[in-house]
Structure 1
Amino acid sequence: MGKTRSINNIIITGATGMVGEGVLLKCLKSPEIDSILVINRKPCGYTHPKLKEIIHSDFFDFSPIQDQLSGYNACFFCLGITSVGADDDTYYKMTYTLTMHVAETLSKLNDNMTFCYVSGGGTNENERLKWARVKGKTESDLMKLPFKQVFNFRPGFIKPVEPQKYVNKFYKYVNWLFPIGRAIYPNGFCTMGELGNAMVNTLSHNNERRTLEGKDIIAFANEPL
C-alpha cells in the first residue's frame, strides 16, 4: 500500500505581493494542498475551487474573523513591507508587531500548525541594520510560539514565475542576471517555484524549528514527496 497523504488546509498572507502571489500560484497547482485561505486587505484577483478569500483591513485585530481561522494546519506568512523610507516605529509595527499578532492568534486556534515566515537573506537579530535586526527578533520569537513547526525562510533574489501580476519593477529589469548570480552565489538566488515548493514540502516534516537559507530552500524544494 502507498503512503497515506495528510489533508493540508493552509492560510496564505500577502497574496497581493510578489512573494505571496508566487507562493499562492504554486499551492494552487500542488496536489499536496487541499484548500487555501488567503487573508488580504484587497482582492487578490484569483479564483479557484480550492481557494477562499477573506478581505480584512485590520491585521492588528483578527477578532472579527477569528471564527474562520481554525481547522488549518499551515500558514505561509508572506506579508511584509520594505524598510526603505519607513521610520523605525512604523517598520517595527508592520514587521514584528503585526506578524506576532497573526501568529499568536493562529497558534491558539490551530494546535497542529506549521508556520512558515518569509524574512530575507542577511536577517540577524544582532545586526546593526534595522530591517535585519527587526526580522531577526521576529524569527526568534516565532520559534517560541506553540506551533507544531516553525520555518524561517531567508531567500535573497527571487525569480518570479509566470503569470505573476504583482512583481516589483526591479525584478523585471534584472531577471537576466539570475543565471549568472545563481552560478556565482547559489545561496542568494532561488526561484519563486523553489520557494513555494519548499514551503509545501515543510508539511511532510514533523516537529521541526529551522531557519532556511538560500541553499536550504533549494534543497527543501527538491525533496521527494
Structure 2
Amino acid sequence: MNSKINLEEKDTDTIEKIVRFNLAECLGSPGPIIVNEEQKVIFFIGPTGVGKTTTLAKIAANFVLKNKYDIGLITSDTYRIAAVEQLKIYSDILQLPLEIAYNKEEMIKGIDHFQNKDIILVDTAGRNHNDLGQVEELKEILNTVKKKEVFLLVSATTDYKVLESVIDKYNFLDEYKLIITKIDEAENYGNILNIKHIANKELSYFTTGQNVPDDIQIIDVENIVKKLIEENNND
C-alpha cells in the first residue's frame, strides 16, 4: 500500500476501491508463456518438492492439446530416478520426445537435437538453496542457452523467512518469472503478495493441485485481489 495515500474522511467503499487498485498495482500484469516465431527454450527451476515436473507437464499438455505446438522435453533432474520416470510417463502420454541430460554437454546436445521445435521445456533438479555447489551447477545448466525464459517455482505454503532465503539465492538471474505452486494447500492468498514483493518479478501461473493438465491457471490478478480482501475482512 502506498504510504502517501490519505484515507482520512473517505467512506468504506472508496477505501476498498483504493485498496483494490493498490493491490492490483503491486501484483502487476501476468506474464505467461507467449509463443511467437522464435523458438522458446524454457527452464523450470526451484527448490526440491515444489512441483516442477508436474507443472512442466501441465504446461506441455495445455500447449499440445489446445495449441498444437511442436514441443520437445529435456530433463536434467537425474538425481531422482522418480523424476525422470515421471516425465517419461507424461512424454509418452502426450507423445512428446524426451531427452535426458546428465551434464552440461548433454544439455547442449539435447537443445541442438530439438532445434526445429517450437518450444523446448527443460525440467531441472530441485536445488537446496543453501548448497552453493548446487546453485553453481544450475548456473552452468542455464548458461548453455543465451536466449531463454526462466520460471522460478515457489510454493504458496512456504514460510516468509524461507521465501526470502530461497529467492535471494536466485538473485544471480537478471530475469525470471514466478510460478506459485500449491495454492490449494495454502491457508490463504497472502503469500502470493509476499512472493511478488520479495522477488519483484512478474507473476505468471499458479497451480491448484496435481491433476494434469487442469490444475494450473494464468495468474488472475482481479480474483487474487478479491480473495485478499475477503480474507482481510474475515480476520
TM-score for the superposition, normalised by structure 1: 0.49
The structure with higher relative contact order (CA 8 Å, sep 6+) is 2
TM-score for the superposition, normalised by structure 2: 0.47
Structure 1 or 2, whichever has the larger Rg, is 2
